[in-house]
Structures are given as C-alpha cells and as structure tokens.
Amino acid sequence: MSTTQQSVLVVDDEPSICWAFEKMLSQDGHRVYTASSAEEGLEKAAEHAPDLIILDVRLPNEDGITALPKFLQASRNAPVIVITAFGDLETAVSAVKNGATDYLTKPFALQDASRACRQALLKSASRETSRATPRATGPMNVDPSVLVGRSPAMQQVFRQIALVAESDLSVLITGETGTGKELVAAAIHRHSRRSDGPYVPIAPVALNPDLIESELFGHVKGAFTGAADDRAGLFERAETGTVLLDEIGDLPLGIQVKLLRVLEQGQFSRVGDVRPMSADVRILAATNCDLHDAVARGDFREDLFHRLTGMQIHLPPLRERPEDIAALCLYFLESMKYTAADEAIDETLLAELAERPWYGNIRELRNAIEHAAVVARGRRLIINDFPPAKPGRDPSSRNSFGQATLDQMVRQWAKTMLQDLQPDTQTLHADFLAATEPPLFDELLKHTAGNRAKAAELLGIHRGTLRERLRAYGMDEAT
C-alpha cells in the first residue's frame, strides 16, 4: 500500500469489522476513523474529509446505499467501497451506479479487502478535487429471475457485472454450457447506459456459413446471387445497443478480421460495398471453450482475443456452487406456480441433489425440477421424482476442461495482481499460495475425513509441513 499517510472512514455497525479495518490500515500508516451509523459517519466525513470511505449496506436507520450520495458530497467524492452480507445483483449494481468504487461481500478475505483499499487509495491520491458527482439514478427495476445465487462465486460475478455495466468495455463471458452466460450478457446490457437500445444475441454457428458475413454486416444489391436489394445486417440493427456474440470461438477467421475492425475503429462495410459505416455498438462475447487453446492452434486471432477481453467474467459450473441449488430450485418452482413451493424441497433432497454432477448446469437443473414437478403433482418432492442423473463424461475430457479453466483463472489472477503490484511490500508467490492453499487443504481434509497423514500423502509433502501450513492459515483447530 502507498507509504503516504491517508485517512480512511469505516462505517459499519459491527465492531469487529471496524476493528479489522482499523488494524489493517493503521499498520500501513493510515489514519482510521470509525462510525456505527450513517448519521455518525456523515458527521465524521464532513469533519475529516477522508481519502477513502468503507461503507456497510445494512446500517441502523439509514442504509448505506441510500446514504452513499451524501457521503460522496460530504467527502468531496472520495472513493467508496461498499460492503454487505446480503449481496445480490441489484445491490451490487445500485452501489456502483450510485458512485461506489468497489464492492465486497461478507465474509471477505483480508487480502481482498487490503487489495481493494490499496487500489482505492491510489485512485484517491491521483483524483482531481473537481471530480464530477456521479449521475443520480432512480429506483432500479431489477428482475431477480435473471441470475440467482448467493454463493461467493456468484457474488464475484455480480460484482463484475456491476463494475463493468456502465462502461463500453468489451467483455468475454466464459463457462460451461448451461451456466447462464447469455443471462450475464443480458444483465450487463440491462444495467448499462445502452439499455434503451436493442440487445441482439447472435450465435454465429447457427448462421448459414455462406451468408454469415451478410447476416452480420449486411449487403448491397447485387453483391452476390440472390442479393436483390440492400439489406441491413445484425450490427446495423443493434445500433446504439449491445451485441452478444455467443460461442465466439466458432467465428470464421475471415469474419474475425471484420469484427476486429469494428472493435478498433467502430466501422464495418456491407458485403459488396467499400464505403465504411459506423458501428455504435457494444460487443460482448461468450464461449464454453478455452480461447487460449484456439489462439495457440491458429483458429482464433490473438489480437481479437485481447480486444474482446476488456474484462473476463467466468461463470462457475453448478457442481462448484451447490449452495445455490436451494435458491434455484425455489425460483424454478415459484416460476411454475407450484403449490407451496417454499415447502416442496427438504434438506434431505437438497443434499442428494448437491451430490449430482450437473454437467448441464442450471439448464439441466431447471429441466429436472420441471420433470419432478409434473411427477409430484403438488406434493413435496422426493428424489425419485427426478430424472436419473446424466451419465458421467469421459474423465479425460473433464480433466482437460478443468485444466483449461484453471489455467485461464490463474492467468487472470496474475494479470490483475500485476496491475497494482507493490514490489517492496508484496510477494506475488506468497499471495498466490495464501489464495489457493486454504481451499485446497479444506477439500483434501474433507476428502480424507480429517486424516492429515493421508492429506499430506496426496499433496506429496511431509505431514509436519502440512501442519505448519494449516497453523499459518488458522485452520489447525477448525480441521
């Protein structure tokens, strides 16, 4: 963190949260003020003019989101990090649209909080005092059906959507089939400044290969046999809006060149015409394959890949976030108007559903719930109401996808960390181990029923080494 002393105001009604931030930031030489309510916080913001505000959403009397514009005014637009234990997409988007710099969901790792504070304080040090106040927004009509989930993985997805929505940055959305990539794209569009414009999802693989260029960019009369009239393409129809290129990895190389021109110059030409046309569109892309591999094979242009990944949002498979199954089941049942939907699934059934691999992800779960509802005919659901679990895939293909996903995530983590790495205070390898070892150890100890000797054997390290690492992470008693 910066060695220049700056001031931070922490507004949270949980003393432990205030204490944790005060200890962490004081160690870096910053002055820290705390408040337990929005009213007290506003008084201290006006008195101390903090360089950073850390603001909880759930506060007594006035909540953090409502009070956020007042904090911006009282602090002359200091960066604000919003924290909450009740994260959903609506809260994340509301926080960012009302001027928040970042968004953390409780419980959060101390290293994530430290990194968010460091970035915000660097921004505060370089900001102009005349920075304009963020534009006001009215109440948001967010449809909760778009994205469902309270797992940490989905909280990260909501945070990324909120941070990127109002920009025109290109976004690459990755994940297995059925994880909801198009829903993420639609949410980005809905919360963007282009929301009044058209949203046009395009699946190039579904277009006629001989006419794909014409479908995307249009053509002029006589451009080819059958072109009897001028015709606008999908990009023209999406003017002032958003285009989603679904399964972008299937885009032919020749079309990739034209798409690159749209991204770099905001222009394209209809088939059979040399006159450039403007393309005032935002481009989102989605894929279930590893584009790094496609680039290595020469099937995908590296320059286009980098232009598409202004931000990358990865949707985890359902089997990696089983804690979201209950909320998803309830949503699907309520959307079907199922009798007593909130009592239709008990904990025993949820535990059995969590054991399934769900290779089809959210789409498979929805189909299974619809099947079970038809069989149960209004009574409480049991596992026998559900269709059999899909047979397992070839292990090598699963491992291949997992390795590709892991490689992609590590690359993205490294890229993010390197952007604001402080060589004199940070060790990248240590940060990486601190981020990855605790969940690895936790899963291994679950797998071995707490047998540390077996866990150490699977890791290929000495049991004493494992014991020391667990103690370093405060996991010795918990495990």
Q: Which residue has the higher pLDDT, 10 or 273?
A: 10
Assess whether 94 and 191 both reside in one domain. no
pLDDT at 127 (0 to 100):
52
Same-domain status, 118 and 47: yes
The answer on 380 and 308 residing in a single domain is no
Greater confidence, 124 or 404?
Answer: 124
- Top-ranked range on mean pLDDT: pick from 96-105, 206-215, 305-314: 305-314
The answer, yes or no, to whether residue 102 has pLDDT greater than 70, is yes
pLDDT tens per residue across span 192-245: 999 999 998 888 777 776 678 888 888 888 877 777 788 888 888 889 999 999
User: In the predicted model, what is the mean pLDDT of the chain?
Assistant: 82
pLDDT in tens, 239-289: 999 999 998 988 888 889 888 998 888 888 888 887 888 888 999 999 988
CATH of residue 38 = 3.40.50.2300
CA-CA distance, 386 to 291, in Å (whole number)?
Answer: 35
Retrieve residue 62's tokens: 């006035």
**Residue 468 in 3-state DSSP?**
helix
- Span of 40-44, 182-186, 391-395 with lowest mean pLDDT: 391-395
pLDDT at 372: 92
Is residue 144, in this structure, part of any structural domain at all?
Answer: no
End-to-end CA distance of the chain: 33
Instruction: Tell me the sheet residues that pair with 93.
Output: none
pTM: 0.60
pLDDT at 1 over 80: no
Tell whether 379 and 454 lie within a shared domain. no
Q: How confident is the model at residue 171 (pLDDT cuts 50, 70, 90)?
A: very high
Is 323 part of a structural domain of the chain?
yes
Model confidence over 106-139: pLDDT tens digits? 778 888 888 888 888 877 765 543 333 233 233 2
Q: 303 and 381 share a domain?
A: no
Q: Do 353 and 378 lie in a common domain? A: yes
Instruction: Look up residue 469 and give its DSSP letter.
Output: H
pLDDT of residue 228: 77
Q: Among 385, 404, 419, where does a domain finish?
A: 385
Burial of residue 128, with CB atoms counted within 10 A of its CB: 0-12 exposed, 13-18 middle, 19 or more buried: exposed
| Tokens linked to 462 | 């000495």
pLDDT at 401: 46
DSSP 343: G
The closest of 124, 25, 19, 144 to 80, measured between CA atoms, is 124
Residue 434, domain extent:
427-479
pLDDT band at 174 (very low <50, low <70, confident <90, very high): very high
Strand partners, 267: 278
d(CA 89, CA 162): 7
d(CA 41, CA 56): 11
Dump pLDDT digits (tens) for 367-394.
999 999 988 888 889 999 999 887 655 4
- Of 126, 161, 191, the one marking the end of a domain is 126
Do 45 and 190 have their domain in common?
no
- Domain match, 310 and 208 both: yes
Query: What pLDDT, in 10s, does the model give residues 319-331?
Result: 999 999 998 999 8
The domain boundary residue, chosen from 333, 367, 385 = 385
Q: Does 475 share its domain with 433?
A: yes
- Residue 305 in any domain: the answer is yes
- Indicate which CATH number applies to the domain containing 450: 1.10.10.60
What is the rounded CA–CA span in Å between residue 30 and residue 51? Answer: 10
Residue 267 lies in a domain: yes
Look at the chain and report how many structural domains it folds into. 4
Residue 284 maps to a domain = yes
Domain assignment present for residue 53? The answer is yes
Q: Tell me the pLDDT tens digit for each residue of 339-353.
A: 888 888 889 999 999
Q: Do 215 and 169 sit in the same domain of this protein?
A: yes
Domain for residue 209, yes or no?
Answer: yes
Secondary structure element (H or E) that encloses residue 173, with its range: strand 171-174
CATH number, domain containing residue 351: 1.10.8.60
Q: Tokens 């479908």 label which residue?
A: 215
> 201 with 91, same domain?
no
Q: Do 203 and 314 contact (CB within 8 A), yes or no?
A: no
Task: Measure CA 420 to chain center.
Answer: 20
Mean pLDDT comparison of 59-68, 384-393, 417-426, highest-scoring range: 59-68
Please report whether residue 342 resides in a domain: yes
- Token pair of 472 as six digits: 């370093």
> Do 436 and 287 belong to one domain?
no
**What pLDDT sits at residue 335?**
86
Spell out the alpha helix ranges (H) of 198-301: 212-217, 234-237, 253-265, 291-297
Between 414 and 135, name the one with better pLDDT.
414
Contact 161, 93 (CB under 8 A): yes
Strand order in the sheet with 311-314: 199-202, 242-245, 282-287, 171-174, 311-314
pLDDT of residue 18 exceeding 70: yes
- The answer on pLDDT for 355 being more than 60 is yes
pLDDT > 70: percent of the chain: 87
For 422-463, write each residue's pLDDT tens digit. 655 556 777 788 888 888 888 888 888 888 888 887 887 777
